[in-house]
Structure 1
Amino acid sequence: MKITSLAAALFALLFAACAPAQTPQTVAPAPVTVPAGDAPALWRVSDEDTTIWLFGTIHVLPQGFEWRNATIDAALDESDLLVLETVTSVGQSDAALLLMRLGVSADLPPIGARVDPELLPQLTSMIERGPFPESFLNGLETWAASLMLVGVTLNDLGLDPENGVEEQLELVFQLADKPVTGLETPAEQLGFFDGLPEEAQRHFLSSVIDTPEDIREEFDAMLNAWRTGDEAAIAMTFDDELSFSEPLREALLTRRNADWATWIGERLAEPGTVFVAVGAGHLAGQESVQDFLRAAGIEVARVQ
């Protein structure tokens, strides 16, 4: 899909605070009967007294989409701690304020001047379909304007930014009175974008721009790759645009994968069972989290 998984997750984090209040759920989503051979991929990293489950997620899902099975549920049940990229249920207002502080600048060129001319009609159409006027986007740095446009993509797909794998996992652990933590803070995640050179920011903006028809086709391919645990297809469909911009790939994928692999390696020194859930694009293709773990001499076994 032409938007990075981090962008989709950040949009959910930033704007869930602005969504209408909903009645809190009081029961966890019921386990489903997805066959083990037709389910998202799951890996295990372990030593004598520690097990770390490594699970690739998709940050937004169609309503009612079934993805859990007995293998995933067993790993969840035995885990003492859930570790996400960031905790989405806290800090939403602060994150939105931080985006405004980091992302607003003076004397910026109009948003339309920051894309190739052939993309301008699609950009105009996206702005017209979205809630943010062009005058507002003109005052945002390119990365911040791009994040705003991610919401148009999600709306085109009919997706609720608060309905993703992470939200479902958080609920399971909260109801079991088990802790949830994050590998990164929202401020750190926004900083990845804010630190990008302008050329990389404009590449990111171009990657967000698409027609509703292409968006649907790309998302369906991504969802099917994730649902079936097809690593090759995941590598092709998740964060595919990052392969065309080395600064973007380095900031949003490679460096983070290396950091997370270091965290996992250090966590093996503590006993217990941990369920680590990060975007599926981080667990497929070259320079994946598993690649960095294996480079450090840590065995990773795919169990589903």
Structure 2
Amino acid sequence: MKQLAALLSVIICSNAAMAQEALDPDAAPVQNILVVGQRPGPALWKVSKGDHVMWVFGTYSPLPKKMEWRSQQVENALAQSQELLGQPGASFSVGWANSFNILTAAPFLIGIKKNADGAHLQDLVPAAVYTRWQLLKTKYIGDDKGIEEERPLFAADRLYDRGLFVNGMDKGHDIPDRIEQLAKNWKIKYTSTTLTLEMDNPRAAVREFKKGRLDDVACFTKTVDRLETDLDAMKVRANAWSMGNIDAIRKLTFPDQKQSCNAAIIDSKWMGGLKGADDLRQRMRAYWFSAAEKALAANKSTFAMLPMSDLLNQDGLVAALRAKGYQIDEPD
């Protein structure tokens, strides 16, 4: 049960928190060789009301896997803060699983990533897309027959991970993890902004998930598209973030395959049957916003992490704070 919860939580949390960016087509070309060595990342956004301030760090994915991240500004702002807000997302609570006999649980967990009714990828995705998938699979994964039995959503995620790895990138989770570890070391209060959904009947939820299908062909197709056409641009964007190039970062927009992959879970019939899963996107947003307002009211200084999309987009969370009357100072 924890395996299913982890799989789906990772999909929702990482996709909400690590939106991928696409460069403005009119922007000047930038070197797409990956930058390595120590890099600062972008400067901080400042949200304030009166003498209370919240410093916001913009996360990004993918990033160079050999990059050494070190930002004195981030460390200084975090050190003077009383609270760290984690990134927004959603997770599933299966509290009884800690004491549940693993031998009893095992039959329910086996095969949760596989397609219902023994279907293979070739049965579910368009023939032309499947042919392109095979070429990418050979290039990045190799001879793995088992992945052909996985749901398109999970197969696409594995392919994307391997494509990033082979091209010198990863999803960039190390940086938020490091910030959280610094806060822990310095005994700074940590507040999760991950919305937790309760599973009243986890066994039934697993059964329903295993026998149902997801509308995840769009997720699969767009992931294949991304790996075929966007790898060089990914490196350009990763460099812009790692060097703190605000001018380049401001030209980024945020459409990507992850929106379709999120929708495959969030809008599924299976998710609709879970307690509290209705209007999940808005509830996740409201949950973070509430935590941010409470922290700003209570602390002289708060530190928060948000995806770059929520810092730059007109419908992002920082724009919502501005609309509520908070002062927003963007980095130069």
Q: How would you bin the TM-score normalised by the shorter chain? A: 0.5 to 0.7
SS in structure 2 opposite 1:277? Answer: strand
Aligned residues of 1:81 and 1:178 also touching (Cα < 8 A)? yes
- Show the counterpart of 1:124: 134
Deviation at 1:57, TM superposition (A): 0.9
Distance 1:265 1:99 in 2: 39
SS in structure 2 opposite 1:127? Answer: helix
Deviation at 1:173, TM superposition (A): 2.2
Distance 1:159 1:72 in 2: 23
- Show the counterpart of 2:4: none
- Show the counterpart of 1:148: 158
- Show the counterpart of 1:168: 178
Matched, 1:205 2:220: yes
Which of these two proteins has the greater Rg computed from alpha carbons? 2
Aligned residues of 1:7 and 1:147 also touching (Cα < 8 A)? no
Cα–Cα, structure 1 residues 162 and 57, in superposed 2: closer, same or farther, change >3 Å? Answer: closer
Distance 2:146 2:55 in 1: 46
Aligned residues of 1:45 and 1:52 also touching (Cα < 8 A)? yes
Scaled by the length of structure 2, the TM-score of the pair is 0.61
- Show the counterpart of 1:114: 124
- Show the counterpart of 2:76: 74
Cα–Cα, structure 1 residues 162 and 264, in superposed 2: closer, same or farther, change >3 Å? Answer: closer
Tell me the amino acid that sits aligned with residue 158 of structure 1.
G
- Show the counterpart of 1:21: none
- Show the counterpart of 1:220: 235
Tell me the amino acid that sits aligned with residue 233 of structure 1.
K
Tell me the amino acid that sits aligned with residue 279 of structure 1.
P
Deviations 1:33-58 (A, max 9, x none): 85xxxx51421222245321111112
Deviations 1:158-211 (A, max 9, x none): 3355763212212322332334443216979xx9xx8xx944x22222222257
Deviation at 1:79, TM superposition (A): 1.8
Tell me the amino acid that sits aligned with residue 240 of structure 1.
D
Deviations 1:105-159 (A, max 9, x none): 5226422343333322331133333278343442x43333332333222222233
Cα–Cα, structure 1 residues 246 and 180, in superposed 2: closer, same or farther, change >3 Å? Answer: closer
Deviation at 1:258, TM superposition (A): 5.0
Cα–Cα, structure 1 residues 75 and 132, in superposed 2: closer, same or farther, change >3 Å? Answer: farther
Deviation at 1:242, TM superposition (A): 6.0
Deviation at 1:300, TM superposition (A): 2.2
Distance 2:16 2:142 in 1: 17
Tell me the amino acid that sits aligned with residue 321 of structure 2.
L
Deviation at 1:217, TM superposition (A): 0.6
Aligned residues of 1:86 and 1:183 also touching (Cα < 8 A)? yes
Aligned residues of 2:62 and 2:234 also touching (Cα < 8 A)? no
Stretches of structure 1 lacking an aligned partner (at least 5 in a row): 11-31
Stretches of structure 2 lacking an aligned partner (at least 5 in a row): 1-10, 19-37, 98-105, 199-204, 268-278
Distance 1:298 1:99 in 2: 46
Q: CA RMSD in A?
A: 4.5
Residue identity over aligned pairs, in percent, reads 21
Deviation at 1:241, TM superposition (A): 4.2
Kindly tell me the number of residue pairs found equivalent between the two proteins.
262
- Show the counterpart of 1:27: none
Cα–Cα, structure 1 residues 215 and 102, in superposed 2: closer, same or farther, change >3 Å? Answer: same
- Show the counterpart of 1:42: 44
Q: Which has the higher strand share?
A: 2
Aligned residues of 2:17 and 2:88 also touching (Cα < 8 A)? no
Cα–Cα, structure 1 residues 101 and 51, in superposed 2: closer, same or farther, change >3 Å? Answer: farther
Distance 1:104 1:211 in 2: 23
- Show the counterpart of 2:251: 233
Distance 1:214 1:292 in 2: 33
Tell me the amino acid that sits aligned with residue 276 of structure 1.
A
